[in-house]
Structure 1
């Protein structure tokens, strides 16, 4: 029978030693979540008897005085965490062991986990609740010509149109990128009567932790006269690239939105050994980039009945606040480089 045992992070097998590790399980990403969520990381080894057969990564937050374990939790702008296991180890058994670990050992009353290698059928076998997270993955092992040809003709047209109009893509490393991105993000959300679900400090934190280690790509698209038209952030690690966010101005001379940026990001990570580009969730516009549809279960388990109702109430209240605050959203204040 499998069991989880919390250990100091340095005592666990290195995350890079597992072929299924993701950027969201790395120390740099955990530093980012700890900083932006007020969370405390949890690293556990998975044991089969006395043998270590894997590890688990998550973080604990306290809300209203209770402990919640996320691997990840909604609102963290974080994707696949969960387990790293040897190939012959059952993830169903690991989930069962997580149940005991989260409630008994950690004293949490609720946990959530999204593991790229756990299927909906496996979760159904345990009878756990989950939300199916739809998305798309693009196969970067194909040639650039094949990648471009599989995109919808409108995507190809807009990409070529932007190039003809003199739109250029630049890789950013400067402190002003967060302000450019977030100012445009406010505009994008305001068009929908909403405000962003996070503030600019999260973008700055992401850049501070991930850019220096080469796992984050920042892109700007500039129009022919030099103005910043749109921005994009994409992650890459261990063969997997991930779309994290993009934004754009509303009134552009060339209404190319983010097609050129995404096409650049795909090629950038492809040349750096990434074999898959995850589009980061669903949306019909993402389907047009030629990826295959995927569904990953976002599992949730509560120690006490009724926790799901509380969770749903909190989610609805968050949406209400997001809509109510749309009119008050304003561009971020410029900061000194040392603050970024």
Structure 2
């Protein structure tokens, strides 16, 4: 017997606040809040709002905030770090939610996505893929409820020694006043982010992204910087929402590493966050099967806690499984890049065009959902 689909409705700010207030012990990621919707809008993106999902008797099951993204060959709807579950997250409940979401966006007048992307704890139909991974799968979470002395003692010896070394090296941590955030970030900190990205092999956002973050989400952020002799060595941005904080963005110079500045900086951040009433701090992603490149930051983060939390993996829910399979194959070929596969790319692109115009090529493979 097939379970009945969920009822869904769009939430305004008042309705969302009522749900949050009624569930004080549920951790709601900041990316799943109305504040983040406004941040996405300020970036020029297309948020579709936050939706609630309830069963037949009106019991709240989950909420999800969606962003509409359009790229070449594909249009998608993405749930960033969500959905948020208020009912028990069983495989059966997840399947009902996914089927409901698929029906919702098949009927949507606001978007016509190829797929919806969200976190899924148990991989099963209709989830598949994903075409590309969108969120980390494991993180370190630091408990901030112990006393400062007990919290410091809980760190690995390497972290405690590094904190002391940074202090002996003359590193000083400052909490930047909010009215100075944009100026300080643009002039002093974005160059450090560029250096960090080049050194560690990733592509950072442009400065405007971080400046917009600091402007729109300022009520939920802190900006701390480690200096030595007046020169910035390392910085971090934390988020806070309902007593849960996240070590969200950070950058460091080569000199920061030799002076152990990041250790003292994070310790001071813990102290500030704890004093503000936060009970935990997520350190974001560490190494996992789909993110082997996080091995270096994992070594640093493990110094502060043994508490590893598994985050549900991001998967795609195709609305048109056949076209999704073609697009996924096309993008996989593009990533491999050998010239011998250029013909396959052209053929796949042709199939995408046929699907867009309603023409189906004979013998086109289908994907099970």
TM range (shorter): 0.7 to 0.9
Q: Are the equivalent residues in 2 in contact too, given 1:12–1:55 (CA < 8 A)?
A: no
Which residue pairs with 2:86 in the alignment?
85
Q: Is 1:62 the counterpart of 2:60 in the alignment?
A: no
Q: Are the equivalent residues in 2 in contact too, given 1:34–1:41 (CA < 8 A)?
A: no
Q: 1:222 aligns with which of 203, 224, 227?
A: 227
Q: Is 1:301 the counterpart of 2:317 in the alignment?
A: yes
Structure 1 gap segments, 5+ residues each:
73-79, 318-340
SS at 1:170's partner residue?
Answer: strand
SS at 2:216's partner residue?
Answer: helix
Q: Are the equivalent residues in 2 in contact too, given 1:147–1:290 (CA < 8 A)?
A: no
Q: 2:10 aligns with which of 7, 12, 15?
A: 7
In structure 1, C-alpha distance between the alignment counterparts of 2:37 and 2:257, rounded to whole Å: 40
* TM superposition score normalised by structure 1: 0.78
Q: 2:184 aligns with which of 177, 200, 205?
A: 177
1:263: Cα distance to partner? 1.0
Which residue pairs with 2:270 in the alignment?
266
Which residue pairs with 1:102 in the alignment?
105
Highest Rg: 1 or 2? 2
Residues 69-102 of structure 1: per-residue CA shift (max 9 Å, x gap) = 1112xxxxxxx23134346994443233223223
Which residue pairs with 1:44 in the alignment?
51
1:252: Cα distance to partner? 5.0
| Count, aligned residues | 301
Q: 2:194 aligns with which of 186, 197, 203?
A: 186
SS at 1:198's partner residue?
Answer: coil
In structure 2, C-alpha distance between the alignment counterparts of 1:207 and 1:102, rounded to whole Å: 32
Q: Is 1:165 the counterpart of 2:159 in the alignment?
A: no
Q: Are the equivalent residues in 2 in contact too, given 1:188–1:247 (CA < 8 A)?
A: yes
Identify the structure with the greater helix proportion.
2
1:50: Cα distance to partner? 6.3
1:156: Cα distance to partner? 1.1
SS at 1:166's partner residue?
Answer: coil
* TM superposition score normalised by structure 2: 0.72
Structure 2 gap segments, 5+ residues each:
287-297, 338-369
Which residue pairs with 1:123 in the alignment?
123
In structure 2, C-alpha distance between the alignment counterparts of 1:258 and 1:313, rounded to whole Å: 40
Q: 1:129 to 1:146 in 2, by over 3 A?
A: farther
In structure 1, C-alpha distance between the alignment counterparts of 2:332 and 2:154, rounded to whole Å: 39
